[in-house]
Structure 1
Amino acid sequence: MIPELGQYALILTACLAVLLGTIPMIGATVGNALWCSYARPLAIAMFGFVLFSFLCLSWSFLQSDFSVAYVASNSNTALPWYYRLSAVWGGHEGSLLLWLLILTGWTLAVALKSGNLPEDIQARVLSVMGLITIGFTLFILFTSSPFERYLPRIPEQGADLNPLLQDIGLIMHPPMLYMGYVGFSVAFAFAIAALLSGRLDTAWARWSRPWTVVAWAFLTLGIALGSWWAYYELGWGGWWFWDPVENASLMPWLIGTALVHSLAVTEKRGVFKSWTVLLAIFAFSLSLLGTFLVRSGVLTSVHAFASDPDRGFFILALLAISIGGSLLLYAIKASHVKSESSFGLLSRESFMLINNVLLTVCCATVLLGTLYPLLVDALNLGKISVGPPYFNALFVPLGSLLVLTMGVGVLLRWKQTSLQLLIGQLWLPGVLAVLAGALSLYLLPYWPGFWVSAGLLLAWWVVFTGGRDLANRMRNKSAGLSALLGQSRAYYGMVLAHGGIAVLVVGIALVSTFSEHSDLRMEPGDRKQFYDYEFVFDGIRKVDGPNFHSDTGVIRVLYQGEPYTEMYPEKRLYTARGNVMTEAAIDPGLFRDLYVALGESLGGDAWAVRVQYKPFVRWLWLGGLMMTIGGLLAATDPRYRKQARRDLAGA
């Protein structure tokens, strides 16, 4: 009965989404305030029914109700309760229900937090969110229902959750990634509402900017968590390998980053209006494209969920309608939009535009490398693979130029900056960056090559230009701690996010160049020297988990002859599916990780063991965390709420 209630709740959600997508939109068009007022209660009710449906599916998993086909395919009686709960979104159908829950959650948040918006704008924004909800709810109901019964034969144990997904990473990674993906639907809805109403002004940018920054922050966190998960779970120590599904999340992040900066320029200077709307459309469109790639069956990946072409056609149709309709509306309306001011070549606006173009080119590069093999295959021209050499050859120079212009941009003034003033601002950070970069290179064990050296130099460049900008701001205020604390949250959020970029660049440069590994054959009692550590293999012990059997290696690590730590890499056999998984043992540190993975048995008591030294690998995720916190901090700046109240009072 519980699964049927969940299905009925989804049907009611579809009905409410139709009402939300039409009545408030018509009300805003004809000026009917009563019809506009229906938007908020419809959004609240819609979220309530989706939440109820999600709880019904969660209850089915917790109770191991294997009469539900989706539960039987993704759970097992021996699965711990917390993995049974996270298994709700461990497969295609449940992950889409989580997507729908987050989508209606964003709609609810806009409904509850947009009281300062003009009523017609709020109605249009929520109506667009309702239209998006219609598409995804129908997709679930017609192609991907998680509540279908498994009759007449009901499995006794269940097929079990994919062992790769039996990890804390699954609990955290997809929800955070979806929060970012789906969050861009809010920016998209604001853009469409602005086009429909003809109010492409600075107020529109101010209203949508906090929502966009929050979505960007969650997507940043989701990508960082995905990288961390792949690093420790897949057993080979890689943190990014340009997998097509990884690229599917990177593309909206790149366009979302451009959108965040473009919104700032539109809000402050009244320029880039049409470009900002286009970026909002592209950010959400790329999120939908990522959904198509993951769920259409066109990709083979450890991240991909579905292999049903019918589902792919449905999403492709949804993608065509949303992108085609929004671009048609843009073509009709955006040509009438004019900038409210101008700017010179040496201005913050110019460098923001350059950064936007570079981010867009980076995205186009990733898009081409991801889709070109699929296009060649679809045309029966053979099968090709586009891997890291292509992406690194194009992405690294573009990214380096992006970081360089980012440092210049923060020191430029709005509208126009004289060349003499700019040189006066840049020379000291430039000299300090060169000196710090040279010192960093001196401390490295060997010359790392041009691009790594450039990366370290650029990281220091971001740090010192940011410090110079902060010094300028403090000089313009009263001295002391009050000047430091007197800056806005949005400013410090920007500083933290840019600092995260610098930390990320250092991590990428050093871990890519100075990682070391060794493949060893070890028997009990063997001692192997690797890097500055000695690894002593004490053999294998058998460990039984709740739903697996494990061969666990016992490895003592000595540093300079003294006991340092013990590491326990595993080889697990999951009994339900018969999958064998590698669980690496990691000794983490701020400046390096020791990474040990247990390979295959080599006969007798001998085992293959891979040990790795990963310098600065934690800086990758530290940089991502800094960017996430910076984005959330900027989004909570109280001036957005104050200005929104002034906008409403003046409307």
Structure 2
Amino acid sequence: MVPEVGHYALILALALSVALTVLPLVGAQIGNQLLMHTSRSLATGFFVFVAIAFACLVIAFIQDDFSVSYVAGHSNSLMPVYYKISAVWGGHEGSLLLWILMLSGWTLAIAHLSKSLPLSLRAQVLAVMGFVGVGFLLFILLTSNPFDRLLPLAPQEGADLNPLLQDFGLIVHPPVLYMGYVGFAVSFAFAIAALLSGRLDSAWTRWARPWTNTAWAFLTIGIALGSWWAYYELGWGGWWFWDPVENASFLPWLVGTALIHSLAVTEKRGLFKSWTLLLAIFTFALSLLGTFLVRSGVLTSVHAFANDPERGVFILMFLLVVVGGSLTLYAFRAPVVHKSVRFSLVSRETFLLANNILLITIMVTVLIGTLYPLIADALNWGKVSVGPPFFNVFFVPLMGFLCLLMAPGVSSSWKRTSWQQLRQLLTRPLVVSVAAGALFPAVYGDEYHWEVALAVFIGVWIVSAGVSDLLYRLRHSRHWRDGLRRLTLSYWGMQLAHAGIAVTTIGVCLNSAYSDLRDVRMAPGETVQTSHYEFVLEGVEQVRGPNYVAQEATIRVSHDGEYVRHMKPQKRRYLAGGNMMTEVALDPGLFRDLYIAMGEPLGDDAWAIRVHVKPFVRWIWLGAIFMALGGGLAVADKRYRKLAQRQAEAAEPSLTGEART
């Protein structure tokens, strides 16, 4: 009975999303306040029924209802309850339902947290969100129903969840990633609503900016969680492989980063209006493209969910409708600039324009590398593989140049900046950065790496320029505390996000240059020496988990003769399907990770063992946390809400907030 309730809830959610698409939009076009007012209640109903459907699927997993095809294919009675819950989004159908739940949640948030929006604009934004909901609800009901039954011959036991997914990473990574993915639908909805209403001034950017920053922050953390999960779960010790599905999440992040900077220019200076609209459209379009790549079966990846051409065709058609319709509307309604707003060559506008150009260039490069093998295969050009060397040869220099521009971008002023001001602000950071970059490799490593010197220079350059700008802003304050209080949360958010870029840059380069990897044969009592560490295999024994048995090695680790700890990697065999999995042992630290993975048995009680010493690898994810926190601080800035409220009252005083009938 529970699955049927979930199925009917999805049907009702579809009906409400259709109503949400049509009624408020019609009301906004004809000025009918009653129809526009329906948007809030319809958005609430949309969320409630999707949440009911999601809860029904969770119950089916917890109760081991193997008469439901999706449960039978992705769960097992031996699995712990927390993995049964995370298994809800461990496959195609359930992850799609999670996608729709996130979409309905964002729709609900707009309906109830955007009281300062003019009623007509809010109605149009929610109508666009409803349209996206219609597309995905049709997709799940027609091609990917998670409540399909296996009756009358239901299996007594499930096929089990992929062992790679029986991990804490599955619990947190997809929900956070989808919050970012789907959150860019809000930016898209604001852009389309601005085009529909003809309100193409900077007002919509101020309303859209907090939502965009929130989505960007979630996507940043989601990508970092995926990288961290791959690092410790796959057993190879890497954190990014330029896998097509990894790229699918990175593409909207790149354009989303360009979007949040372009929104700032449009809001502050009224520039780049058409460009900002276009970025909002393409950011969400790339989110849909990522959904197509993951679910269409056109590529093979450990991350991919589905291998069904019918599903791929549906998503591709929906993508074409969304992108084609949006660009058609943009072509007819995008503003024609009759009056140019001037700015000098040395100004914040120029540096942010360069930021956008570089980010889009990087995105196009990654997109070409991701799609070219698919295009070559479709055109019978043969099987082509595009791997990390291709991406790195373009990505690294472009990203390095982008980072170099961040310092003058922070230090420059709007409209015009004097060379004297830039010299004053950047001379000391330049000296400090050059010294740090030149000295660090000589002090830290046994071998001098110019790549490390450059990475440390760039990281210190970004941070020291931010500090210099901060001191410049405090120069006229009687007391530094008074000056700090006057700085906005959005300013602190920018500083923290840029510091995160610096930390990640240093972490990536130092980890790549100084990682020490050994693949060795080890028997009990044997020793491996690496990077001042000594690893001694003391023995291997069999252990049992809730749904697996494992061979567990005990390895004693010491550093320059001093005991560090015992590490216990495992080679697991899962009982339900007999799948073999590697469970790595980690000793994490701020400045280095010790990483041990078991391979295959080699006879005579010996095992293939992989030993890593990975310096600064945690800095990669620490930087992502700083970036996301920076986005969160910008969202928390009350200035946006106050300005939006005043702007809404000036634009449409009779229709703001709880509009009067």
TM-score greater than 0.5 by the shorter chain? yes
How far apart are the structure 2 equivalents of 1:426 and 1:228?
35
Report the counterpart of residue 545 of structure 2 in structure 1: 545
- Of residues 230-239 and 597-606 in structure 1, the stretch that sits farther from structure 2 once superposed is 597-606
Report the counterpart of residue 580 of structure 1 in structure 2: 580
CA contact (8 A) 2:224 2:621 kept: yes
How far apart are the structure 2 equivalents of 1:583 and 1:275?
47
Alignment of 1:496-535 (within 5 A): 496-535=496-535
How far apart are the structure 1 equivalents of 2:317 and 2:49?
26
How far apart are the structure 1 equivalents of 2:560 and 2:425?
48
Report the counterpart of residue 285 of structure 1 in structure 2: 285
Report the counterpart of residue 294 of structure 1 in structure 2: 294
- Encode CA deviations 1:591-615: one digit per residue, 9 max, x unaligned: 0001001111111211111111100
Following superposition, the deviation at residue 210 of structure 1 comes to 0.1
Report the counterpart of residue 601 of structure 2 in structure 1: 601
Are residues 515 and 306 of structure 1, via their aligned partners in 2, closer, same or farther at CA, if it must alter by over 3 Å? same
Where 1:602 maps in the other structure, the secondary structure is strand
Alignment of 1:76-475 (within 5 A): 76-337=76-337, 341-475=341-475
CA contact (8 A) 2:25 2:124 kept: yes
Report the counterpart of residue 626 of structure 2 in structure 1: 626
- Encode CA deviations 1:414-448: one digit per residue, 9 max, x unaligned: 00112232222222211111112122122132455
Runs of 4+ in 1 over 6 A off after TM superposition: none
Report the counterpart of residue 481 of structure 1 in structure 2: 481
Letter in 1 for 2:59: W
How far apart are the structure 2 equivalents of 1:54 and 1:544?
33
Where 1:231 maps in the other structure, the secondary structure is helix
Are residues 370 and 585 of structure 1, via their aligned partners in 2, closer, same or farther at CA, if it must alter by over 3 Å? same
Report the counterpart of residue 30 of structure 2 in structure 1: 30
Following superposition, the deviation at residue 485 of structure 1 comes to 3.1
Following superposition, the deviation at residue 530 of structure 1 comes to 2.0
Report the counterpart of residue 656 of structure 2 in structure 1: none
The runs of 5 or more residues in structure 2 that have no matched partner are 652-661
Following superposition, the deviation at residue 634 of structure 1 comes to 0.8
Following superposition, the deviation at residue 519 of structure 1 comes to 1.6
- Of residues 284-293 and 638-647 in structure 1, the stretch that sits farther from structure 2 once superposed is 638-647
- Of residues 101-110 and 559-568 in structure 1, the stretch that sits farther from structure 2 once superposed is 559-568
CA contact (8 A) 2:195 2:334 kept: yes
The runs of 5 or more residues in structure 1 that have no matched partner are none
CA contact (8 A) 1:271 1:342 kept: no
- Of residues 477-486 and 229-238 in structure 1, the stretch that sits farther from structure 2 once superposed is 477-486
- Of residues 575-584 and 227-236 in structure 1, the stretch that sits farther from structure 2 once superposed is 575-584
How far apart are the structure 1 equivalents of 2:23 and 2:342?
40
How far apart are the structure 1 equivalents of 2:532 and 2:109?
53
How far apart are the structure 2 equivalents of 1:453 and 1:563?
32
Alignment of 1:627-642 (within 5 A): 627-642=627-642
How far apart are the structure 2 equivalents of 1:600 and 1:214?
44
Where 1:336 maps in the other structure, the secondary structure is coil
Following superposition, the deviation at residue 380 of structure 1 comes to 1.0
CA contact (8 A) 1:163 1:574 kept: yes
Following superposition, the deviation at residue 480 of structure 1 comes to 2.1
CA contact (8 A) 1:273 1:339 kept: no
Letter in 2 for 1:4: E
CA contact (8 A) 1:271 1:339 kept: no
Where 1:577 maps in the other structure, the secondary structure is coil
Matched, 1:66 2:53: no
CA contact (8 A) 2:437 2:452 kept: no
- Of residues 471-480 and 552-561 in structure 1, the stretch that sits farther from structure 2 once superposed is 471-480
Following superposition, the deviation at residue 562 of structure 1 comes to 2.7
- Of residues 471-480 and 89-98 in structure 1, the stretch that sits farther from structure 2 once superposed is 471-480
Following superposition, the deviation at residue 132 of structure 1 comes to 0.3
How far apart are the structure 2 equivalents of 1:327 and 1:255?
17
Where 1:149 maps in the other structure, the secondary structure is coil
How far apart are the structure 2 equivalents of 1:454 and 1:476?
35
CA contact (8 A) 1:272 1:339 kept: no
Where 1:67 maps in the other structure, the secondary structure is coil
Where 1:589 maps in the other structure, the secondary structure is coil
CA contact (8 A) 1:346 1:416 kept: yes
- Encode CA deviations 1:332-370: one digit per residue, 9 max, x unaligned: 111435567321111100110000000000000000000
Alignment of 1:489-500 (within 5 A): 489-500=489-500
CA contact (8 A) 1:269 1:340 kept: no
Report the counterpart of residue 42 of structure 1 in structure 2: 42
Following superposition, the deviation at residue 204 of structure 1 comes to 0.9
Where 2:334 maps in the other structure, the secondary structure is helix
Are residues 305 and 36 of structure 1, via their aligned partners in 2, closer, same or farther at CA, if it must alter by over 3 Å? same
CA contact (8 A) 2:425 2:472 kept: no
Are residues 190 and 647 of structure 1, via their aligned partners in 2, closer, same or farther at CA, if it must alter by over 3 Å? same
CA contact (8 A) 2:600 2:607 kept: yes
Count of residue pairs brought into register by the alignment: 651
Identity of aligned residues (%): 59
